[in-house]
Amino acid sequence: MTERFEIRYVKGHVEVYDSSGKFCFSADTKSEAESELLDMAA
């Protein structure tokens, strides 16, 4: 099963939430968040 994530811009950084709206982690940039999501999937 593939889980979907939402990246939200908040006060100069990004926050990542899962499909149920639960906070997962924050990152400085969208590309950093995407990289972290790829690492989680591996």
Integer-rounded Cα radius of gyration of the chain: 10
pLDDT at 1: 38
pLDDT at 42: 85
pLDDT at 41: 87
Rounded Cα gap, residues 33 and 37, in angstroms: 6
pLDDT digits 0-9 by tens, 11-25: 999 999 999 999 999
Determine the residue type at 41: A
Q: Detail the DSSP E strand segments found in 1-42.
A: 5-10, 13-18, 23-27
**Quick one: tokens of 15?**
């926050």
Percent over 90 (pLDDT), the chain: 86
**Residue that the structure tokens 């709206």 belong to:** 21
Rounded Cα gap, residues 16 and 36, in angstroms: 10
pLDDT at 2: 53
